[in-house]
Amino acid sequence: MNRWLALTLCALTSVSTVGCSLTADNKTASSAVNVSTDLANEVAEPAEPVTTTSSQMVFTDQPTFELEQLSPQQEADLWQRIRRQLTMQAPENQRLISQRNWYMNNPQYMERVAKRAEPFMYMIVEEIEKRGMPLELALLPIVESAFDPFAYSHGRAAGIWQFIPGTARHYGLEINWWYDGRRDVYAATHAALDYLDALQKRFDGDWLHALAAYNSGEGRVAGAIRRNKQQGLPTDFWALDLPRETRAYVPKLLALADILRNHDEYAQHWLPIANMPFLAVVEANAQIDLAKAAEQAGIDLDTLHHYNSAYNRWATDPNGPHRLLLPLPQAETLQQWLNSADASELVQWTRHKVKQGESLLVIAKRYHTTAQAIQQANNINGHIIRAGDHLLVPVATRDLDDYSLSADQRLASTQAQTRGAYKIEHTVVSGDTLWDISREYEVNLRSLASWNGMAPTDPLRPGKTLVVWLPQQQKASGVVRSVQYKVRAGDSLARIASRFNVSIQDIEKWNQISRSKYLQPGQQLKLFVDVTRLSSQS
């Protein structure tokens, strides 16, 4: 069967959450494209494999193409496919009305959300239908993140489904230097639906309780139910004493479903999304440079990274996953290259001669990789390396600035938007909190957190280096460090300012003191010192 004919049939029939799953197998140049009805695991007995040439596809569990079987699926607009399967009912109360009014009064917001949702919504709807879960859940990423794959909340939640780290790891989402599974739409969708399914079973099939627990925790919802029972009060969601955010959270979802269900009555028509696969899954068999993948697929690197927002660096995690979501034509192009490419071609390599005193960590930092990646590439079991050894090190194909959606570049962009003119580095000591540090340097707490890719409530690890931007008039030309200076007998502000090449006014501001008051021996002063200028004077 011609591949593009197969892709067309794949688009017309409900066969896969992402449309088509393309899997690289470099052992045979003629490995086929696999189309599956399941994102993760086959649920039906798989069909016998078919040996094909490179111009064919293997169809497993392919349903019979009969129009009468395609009720919701035959809709041209995916929103209408969802609409025909909505089941949750809600009372017409003020909490619902206020949320519905907000959405109806902000059509531009819904248009932006629909544009963000377009690549991923078909995948999500397919998986929800396969599991027999309420189609209202397809609207949940609107409430959680407005379908922004890079969304990050004050509670350390990330991705379109807004997983916090603990829950993410519990449901199999890896979080490390290379990769954050919370932002992997493919993996996080499975994890979120697993979690929601577990919650509805925990609450005896009550989906409103399950949704409330998804937002605020099952212990909190269970406690609210228990208290109402003890007081002889109703235990439905609307009667529970829950946090303000949760009391609005469930009505937001129900309001969206109500608007979609009654879109003609409300005259609300969201930006249409075609009811066909948009993305396909391509699986490489080893670490792959995202720039090289983009080049071989014929797609812009930023676009590729947007569809694959889980990757924090310039490549996939050496330990996987090596999965990429791409629009169908580009997925086909990349798959053809992967079918014949060797694993060594997926990243660029450099040969590094170990110098005296170098460690794996030092070398890894230089090449923007990890010690573990170097160990794997060179079959090193421990951390011992010797001067004169030669190591193969995976390196980025392009300048790191080109990977604009990587964690480093997004952080740099955030700093550029909110930073002051004077950069210093603060080394965390035991007991430090972001709040304490923000007060110490007189900067905004949220700005401090965003400069360092953190949430305001994140814990700090002693030894961690934080970037702090101070609103000075002049920009530092060198490297600035925070210095604690102990006043000595005979010191004056003028003498200290001259010694450290700062102004008296700066010392006064940094320490909330006035030159009209005498300094006391032993008094501690906080100074921000350009160490490069000091060294040039010594």
The identity of residue 47, as a single letter, is A
Tell me how crowded residue 526 is: count the other CB atoms within 10 A of its CB. 14
Instruction: State the pairing for strand pair 390-395/480-486.
Output: unpaired
Q: From the candidates 127, 144, 174, 332, give the one annotated as an active-site residue.
A: 144
Tell me how far apart the alpha carbons of residues 193 and 133 are, in angstroms, rounded to a whole number.
9
Decide: 528 and 502 in contact? Cβ < 8 Å: yes
Q: How many CA atoms lie within 13 A of 278 on its CB side?
A: 18
Close Cβ partners of 273 (under 8 Å, ≥ 6 residues apart): 77, 78, 79, 114, 117, 118, 121, 122
What DSSP designation does 289 have?
Answer: B
In the structure encoding, which two tokens stand for residue 122, read together? 């078909």
Mapped onto helix, strand or coil, the DSSP state of residue 394 is strand
Clarify whether 66 is annotated catalytic. no
Q: How many CA atoms lie within 13 A of 246 on its CB side?
A: 21
CA angle 232, 236, 239 (to 5 degrees): 70
Mapped onto helix, strand or coil, the DSSP state of residue 457 is coil
Close Cβ partners of 417 (under 8 Å, ≥ 6 residues apart): none
Tell me how far apart the alpha carbons of residues 163 and 497 are, in angstroms, rounded to a whole number.
49
Tell me how far apart the alpha carbons of residues 162 and 27 are, in angstroms, rounded to a whole number.
38
- Within the chain, how many helices (H) and strands (E) appear? 22, 11
Q: Which residues are marked as active site?
A: 144
